[in-house]
Chain A
């Protein structure tokens, strides 16, 4: 029973990774950029929630909307201000990466100045009770995490497969040049992709704050990195892949913590990344792309 409890806890944690991983995966699919700043978007979402809930004292239902709006805007703003010029000029990949890194450092230091570098505690929000059945005992928040992530994924799948915008996204990701020729406004699609990815991260941020009620300006580093590992594990560019990778990573991390070691758990996560990249760089559900000679 303990094992199943740990498994569910892992899935709960993995749900958060999955939601963040989706953003990495979608952006990478469209502009082939590891958006280093994506992890920090979660941090931004966390602080947005904190400001509304604790400082402004808004009711929960209203406060929860704040990170979604703020993150969505932040994602679009980052794309406009930092990446767009490079993307339209077809800049070298290394320049894009360094810019993304710059944005990440900027956000962290900005929030350090605004809120100081020490951690802030979030008040309890929802699902704090414990669900018990037989020997099984998990918090409701864990179950909420899983349900919300599944709902979000289904929604995203529908957006991508059933709507015009989704089809345009797929086309842009397949071949941006051709998509442009077919009359797709790729610029707009890129913005939408950043917005959707950031909104998913905002949902992840709310769930994270509810499960682990502490935020600080550097929280996005490790969280973002792990979510990225999840995206690579599942196959970057693939939506179901990002979800699968997120769940797998969450479970693996939880089981490592529970049964092996807590001290070097993060090292284990990176070891997983390294093994995946070496054995199957396209990930579990990704497509293999080879350079044409």
Chain B
């Protein structure tokens, strides 16, 4: 059974078919690329997978169960976490608290314990702080834990977003243009990070990216979208030589 499978997925916005007939299949621990020209509908795919939009047709099965109609927070709790194209951090919160927000679905205590600081509060908060710091350590961000998220440099903000998504302990991680705005060295580092994440956390990763060196370098398989439909899928080598893909990118 695949980790995630979509069949005949489509959505219509105001009579316009934004996506049509999208078939995706992702196995556990795979790293998959989703590419295509601007406006091809890549982010829309993410929004469908995470419950931001409800598809007008088709099926999405995650670990064998349909997730259509579930709210975004429910889908996150089932095991799909994402980042955003335009970074969406909790700006006025500290780096540590940003991570904790995603983590706290696993570390529960009731509101009475919270208000009167009863033992469950201390126990769970302590564990959460430890876990969050460990996670930050893995990404070399331990020293900025107490800083306000909006004060981080751009690259670290991107990193924090990935980290925050991981804090939810997902089985599938969706990265929306993680290399946007990065220079070649940073992109290269990111490639390493993505591989490392897969090994350490055992997650499958679906990433949208424009940087071809990154996509070709790190992905095992690639899906190509154009005008809302899939035009190709295969290994990086196959995609590189695919006529339709070349045509779509050259605008022929």
Binding site for B on A (CB under 8 A): 293
Chain A's closest residue to B52 (CB) is: A293
Chain A residues with CB under 8 Å of B47's CB are: 293
Task: Give chain B nearest CB distance to A76 CB in angstroms.
Answer: 35
CB pairs A–B below 8 angstroms (4 shown): A293-B43, A293-B47, A293-B52, A293-B84
| A268 → chain B closest CB, angstroms | 34
Q: Which residue of A lies closest to B72 (CB)?
A: A293
Binary contact readout B75-88 vs A (1 if CB under 8 angstroms, 0 otherwise): 00000000010000
Top 4 nearest A-B pairs by Cβ distance?
A: A293-B52, A293-B47, A293-B84, A293-B43
**Interface size class for chain B?**
under 10
Complexed CA–CA distance, A249 and B204 (Å): 55
List the B residue with the shortest CB-CB distance to A288: B14
Write the residues of chain B forming the contact surface with A, with a CB cutoff of 8 angstroms.
Answer: 43, 47, 52, 84
Residues of B contacting A293 with CB < 8 Å? Answer: 43, 47, 52, 84
What is the CA–CA distance of A293 and B43 in the complex, to the nearest angstrom?
8
Distance in Å: Cβ of B180 to nearest Cβ of chain A: 15
Cα A293 to Cα B86 in complex, Å, equals 8
- B84 proximity list for chain A (CB < 8 A): 293
- Residues in A whose Cβ lies below 8 Å from that of B43: 293
A293 to B84, CA, bound (A): 8
Residue of A nearest to B84 (CB): A293
Give A291's nearest chain B residue, CB to CB: B52
Q: How far is the CB of A92 from chain B (nearest CB, A)?
A: 12
Least CB distance from B238 to A in Å reads: 31
User: Once bound together, how far apart are the Cα atoms of A293 and B52, in whole Å?
Assistant: 8
Min CB–CB distance B150 → chain A (angstroms): 14
For B52, list chain A residues within 8 Å (CB): 293
In the complex, the chain A residue whose C-beta lies closest to that of B85 is A293
Bound Cα distance from A293 to B176, whole angstroms: 11
Beta-carbon nearest neighbor of B13 in chain A: A290
Separation in Å of the B88 CB from the closest CB of chain A?
A: 9
What separation, in Å, do the CA atoms of A293 and B47 have in the docked complex? 8
Q: How far is the CB of A289 from chain B (nearest CB, A)?
A: 12
- Closest A residue to B53 by beta carbon equals A293
Cβ distance B127 to chain A, nearest Cβ, rounded Å: 32
CB distance from A41 to the nearest CB of B (A): 36
Distance, CA A87 to CA B47, complexed state (A): 32
Chain B nearest Cβ from A133, distance in angstroms:
47
In the bound complex, how far is the Cα of B93 from the Cα of A210, in angstroms? 55
- The CA-CA distance from A293 to B82 in the complex, in Å, is 12
Cα A293 to Cα B53 with chains together (Å): 10
A293–B51 alpha-carbon span in the complex (Å): 12
A293–B72 Cα distance when bound, in Å, is 12
Chain A residue nearest in CB terms to B46 = A293
- Minimum CB–CB distance for B128 against chain A, Å: 27
Instruction: A293 to B44: give the CA distance in the assembly, Å.
Output: 9
Within the complex, the shortest CB–CB distance from B71 to chain A, in Å, comes to: 14
Nearest-CB residue, chain A, relative to B14: A288
Q: Nearest-CB distance from A199 to chain B (Å)?
A: 36
Determine the distance from Cα of A28 to Cα of B84 in the docked complex, in whole angstroms. Answer: 29
* A39 to B84 alpha-carbon distance, docked (Å): 41
- Shortest CB-to-CB span from B75 to chain A, Å, is 14
- Identify the closest chain A residue to B82 (Cβ): A293
User: When chains A and B are docked, how far (Å) is the Cα of A146 from the Cα of B43?
Assistant: 50
Alpha-carbon distance between A29 and B52 when the two chains are bound, in angstroms = 26
A93 smallest CB distance to B (angstroms): 16
Give the shortest distance, in Å, between B183 (CB) and chain A (any CB). 27
The distance in angstroms between the C-alpha atoms of A260 and B13, with both chains bound, is 42
Q: Considering the chains assembled together, what is the distance between the CA atoms of A129 and B189 in angstroms?
A: 84
Output the least CB separation between A250 and chain B (Å): 33
* Alpha-carbon gap, A79 to B84, bound state (A): 36
Taking the closest CB of chain A, its distance from the CB of B14, in whole angstroms, is: 9
> Shortest distance in angstroms between B36's beta carbon and chain A's nearest beta carbon?
18
B82 to chain A, nearest CB (A): 10
